[in-house]
Amino acid sequence: MSHFEFFMVLAAVVVAVAMTEIVGGWGRLLRTDAKVETDWLYLGWTSFVLIASMVYWVGMLPYQSFTFAYMGQVWLLVIPTLFLVLVAFALTPNVPEHGELSLRDHYLSKRRHVFFSLAGFIFLGWSSDVAVTGFVSVREWVYPAMMIAIFLVLAQTAKPRIHGALLILTLAIHLPMAFFEMDGFLARFTS
């Protein structure tokens, strides 16, 4: 097994824990006898975490041509995925067997945990790329700075309209990534 294959398996396991928590939470919501008040913000942000998990994992593919000389380089790239796990656990409510559950109330009560962790994920993901590969162009600062600013605003406000508008903006940024051609995606990093 190459260093890259080891690294990808480790990252895949951590990302899978986050994705399993989100999808498992959806399953528990569907199975409960409790009256669940669904919320589009909750569903939208949990969907974003799934998308971000997949995009981050696929974004590690360019490292297949990178030589890992130190174990710390692997940890620098895996640690941001741990923040996705924290986000997934914060977003997933304890689902009661009976009674009522408002997903909007749960989402808003956990917003600080969720969005400070997402800001940490973006910051650590970007800074680990810089530390491992040395890329430091100004263009590479725009995305992380914008996403961190969005997440810090969302952590501080409980206004659903702001959360909705920034959810739409965030999804508009990330959904097109699902339609990138893999060869073109990899070529941007390896050329």
DSSP string, 116-134: HHHHHHHHHHHHHHHHHH-
Single-letter amino acid, residue 70? Y
Region of residue 134 (left: phi > 0; alpha: psi -120 to 50; beta: else): left
Q: How many domains, the chain?
A: 1
Please write the tens of the pLDDT for every residue from 50-62. 988 888 888 788 7
Please write the tens of the pLDDT for every residue from 9-18. 888 899 999 9
Q: Distance from CA of residue 58 to its chain's centroid?
A: 12
Extended strands (E) in 25-154: 35-37, 100-102
Closest by CA position to 39, among listed 89, 101, 82, 98: 101
Q: Could you tell me the pLDDT band of residue 165, with boundaries at 50, 70 and 90? A: very high
- CA–CA separation, 75 vs 14, rounded Å? 12
With tokens 């559950």, the residue in question is 101
With tokens 């909007």, the residue in question is 104
- pTM equals 0.86
List the domain range (segments joined by +) for residue 79. 3-190
The helix (run of H) or strand (run of E) holding residue 74 is helix 71-91
What would the mean pLDDT of 82-94 be, rounded to a whole number? 94
